[in-house]
Chain A
């Protein structure tokens, strides 16, 4: 009484045939280029022996163009659930050795099935994209398949984290599913992402361009901002996903994986005082400040190459996970421009959706002046920062390090946008506008009448600076929780975060607010 050996052998045979995908030859070619197979990418990512595959026996159902004679193992995509750092994570990984990884109807159904499961079971969704696009032989069937995947990307959005890896070519529709996810990681070599390639652009507009300029990892990461992380290779890409997940809850109902230390270190960090330049016009490197606030220098920066005048990323403070948003005064003087606003607002909204406390570090002289900025819609884009911060109900802690001028001060999570606590260094300059500009407006008549205009102007500027370019005017209005020395920053922030972790703010119910897109 036992199951027949033949049945078991048949099962083994079917499994191993499917696992080979498009054949050894194709795999070898990819290995030469330094690419991992679709399966190896997942093997690398999940803890050993935890991967439960879904639909290993799926094959295509196409009967046109001679397809009925061909087999497509797994229909070109590996899907399933595995464990990462002890937590379940759902994933799909497209197999470019099977019909170029092109998406057919059953391929799409497999992706949709695993996405729905991720949503219902409340686990992160990771998609490894390596696909030539829609499977032409299946015609509108494959087009519909893409639509179904997009729709589910939107269903999952804000409920479970969605992370996309671009590990091969992703053109047209294949680029839009990743674009609907929360974070994109792209490998430096072997991957391209674009809607219209160089040939199409040339045919339509006559303009010559290279793939490097429009579709490469560096173009997507540094110029368009479509991509959040650039990985050196496939293995590194999966490492970044893993590191990213280490800061995120499995879903929007759960808490982030805080690992609070038993004690909060309240000792001052004198080295922070040394970072602050004596001259208010001198540049400060905000990374130095961040590194001294987060635990053991570990800061996972998001969008590192894009809009570098604003820094965003994840870290822990005495074990508590925070999303950090910080002006970078050493790039474009730390001004907010269109790209920085988009980058910041997107990150703030992610943090809010997944219960991640927000720490804002301010050193902002204003919005970037310029014709391109005005015509590009800095009003509409800058408004996203105001919207995102105001809409966020997670703990919001703000530290004003130096400059905080005008509208950009408000846009960096001021008290008026309901920051829970706002701390300011003694070097903070919180004012409507800079001294030079303010004096020109306030003392126009006096300056016209003055005998020595230059000296008089200098005097007015000096007076204005003394009175307004400090944290104490704002503090006297009750807009600042406390003025602290830079050395106190880490301990003050840590304590503030702990105290605010149980914050529970509710807002009037509505379908959704209308962020100015």
Chain B
């Protein structure tokens, strides 16, 4: 079955429609929406809804949102651009979600990163973790963002008064 995203339905509506019809692809599609590398901005409300609607047992949700700041290592930054290794970046984010679900007492995790040009103040990266209790949600959320920085092939180029600079970070 081919899924046409050009339908006048948002992805969550599409998932709902498929789910109502008992389509076996629903689970896979829902899970693919929980791990994304995308060009466009994301809505925090929509992503939060996506996680909390996965289970009524969720009692605590922890979130990390990374945004583009205008200063880095003593330099002014006017904009930035993220490059990623297509395929491997998605694969690593998927591994992070799966390992978080295995290693922490959590119910759901969403891992999302943008690429392409990003203006100062815009969203870059989002982690949302739902658990029964807050301590597990906080721990898993911190682990996910730390692991993302370590193993995900995504690179940042900042535009500064001195020119464009690839940023190398050592958390």
Q: Do A and B bind each other?
A: no
B contacts, CB < 8 Å to A: none
